[in-house]
Amino acid sequence: MASPIPRGRRTPWRRALRRDWQLYSLAVLPLLFFLTFRYLPMLGNAIAFRRFQPGGSLFGEYWTGLRYFRLFFTDPTFWSVFTNTLVLGALTLVFCFPLPIVLALLLNEVRNRALKRFVQSVSYLPHFLSIVIVAAMVLQLLSVDGTVNQMVSAVGGEPVPFMQQAGWFRTIYVSSEVWQTVGWGTILYLAALTTVDGDLYEAARIDGANRWRQTWHVTLPGIRPTMVTLLILNIGTFMAVGFEKILLLYNPLTYPTADVISTYLYRVGIVSGNLSYAAAIGLFESVIGLTLVLSANAISRRTVGTSLW
């Protein structure tokens, strides 16, 4: 052994630095990245409490306290975008979380390997497309002369200007999200399914379980850790509902259902230049997001025994 490492005891910093300085040196640039582009912006949130002037300091000019927070709590638009965020986040969770599990279970029952492989490959495909392309395709398919309206006409309906009606936005957003993510989401579940112990199925069969009960009592518990992990991760992105996609798909006519916190703060901050106000909204959003992940993680550790950390 070249350098036996005592277990259980910590090396003193001085020895560690002398021995591993080359390793630490490799970490310098990545750390610089994290500090500059991840942690500095976190501190930069200070401008939510300070008056920021374009071209001025990264952290603002002088303290304004909670002024910007009070501002958005009394802003009616804020409450409407807050509601939209919750609704879209909840719908996304309700559809985008379970559907990959269902698809993975169905794929797992396919005995023909070529067929299985083919279905999988096809269903991953949308994941590799840019959001811009997905949005462009959605706009084309749903335009007045698009495929969907041809079907509407075929069954005797009037063409619907889908993208111009607020009532349709949630359906469109969630469906396109499912289309794009469902296949990719199956990967982890399929991996988890292969690790379920085959003997358990045999035991269940001897106990008289039919295939449905085998799925219910053996397969699902077998992939539960994966399910919980992905659920927590999904909850973590709850508040950050597809900002980029909404930005590409929405328009003033669909604002009533499409405008979410992140798109609103984009307009307030970047478009109108009210950076401090927008930063306050963004900070509020991030804090809720973080709280959601932490609580989901804590709840799952207590109840299911699986947690991210």
Sign of CA dihedral 31, 33, 38, 41: positive
Q: Report d(CA 128, CA 260) in Å as an integer.
A: 25
Q: What is the DSSP secondary structure assignment for residue 51, as one 8-state letter?
A: E
- What are the φ and ψ backbone dihedral angles of 62, each rounded to 5 degrees? -150, 160
Rule CB under 8 A: is residue 66 a binding residue for another protein?
no
Contact between 128 and another protein (CB under 8 A)? yes
Q: With binding defined as CB under 8 A, does residue 58 bind another protein?
A: yes
Specify the residue, 43 or 66, whose C-beta has the smaller distance to another protein.
Answer: 43
CA distance 138 to 250: 11
> Is there binding between residue 239 and another protein (CB under 8 A)?
no
Q: Would you say 50 or 88 has its CB closer to another protein?
A: 50
| Segment interacting with another protein, rule: CB under 8 A, options 72-80, 86-94, 198-206, 299-307 | 198-206
Return all residues near 142 (Cβ < 8 A) that are at least 6 apart.
148, 149, 162, 163, 172
Interface segment toward another protein; rule CB under 8 A; list 77-85, 87-95, 272-280, 298-306: 272-280
303 lies in the site for another protein, by CB under 8 A? no
Smallest distance from the beta carbon of 122 to another protein, in angstroms?
A: 5
> Least distance to another protein from the beta carbon of 301, Å?
15
- State the virtual CA torsion across 260, 264, 270, 275 in degrees, nearest 10: -120
Q: Is 203 in the site for another protein (CB under 8 A)?
A: no
The reply to whether 168 sits near another protein by the rule CB under 8 A is: no
Nearer to another protein, 171 or 210 (CB): 210
Find the DSSP H helices in 109-210. 113-124, 131-142, 147-154, 166-194, 198-206
Cα(223)–Cα(90) distance, rounded to whole angstroms? Answer: 23
Regarding 271 and contact with another protein (CB under 8 A), the answer is no
**Residue 235 CA to its chain's centroid (Å):** 8
Strand partners, 51: 62
Residue 234 near another protein by CB under 8 A: no
DSSP secondary structure of 254-285:
GHHHH--HHHHHHIIIIIT--HHHHHHHHHHH
Window of 74-82, 84-92, 166-174, 263-271 that interacts with another protein by CB under 8 A: 263-271
Q: Is 26 in the site for another protein (CB under 8 A)?
A: yes
Binding flag, residue 36, another protein (CB under 8 A): yes
Structure tokens at 164: 């111009």
**By CB under 8 A, what part of segment 212-231 binds another protein?**
214, 226
| Site size with another protein, rule: CB under 8 A | 119
Nearer to another protein, 11 or 171 (CB): 11
298 near another protein, judged by CB under 8 A: no
Q: What is the nearest approach in angstroms of another protein to the Cβ of residue 89?
A: 16
**Residue 281: burial class (beta carbons within 10 Å; 0-12, 13-18, 19+):** buried
| Cβ 80 to another protein shortest distance, Å | 19
Which span sits near another protein by CB under 8 A: 61-69, 78-86, 87-95, 192-200? 192-200
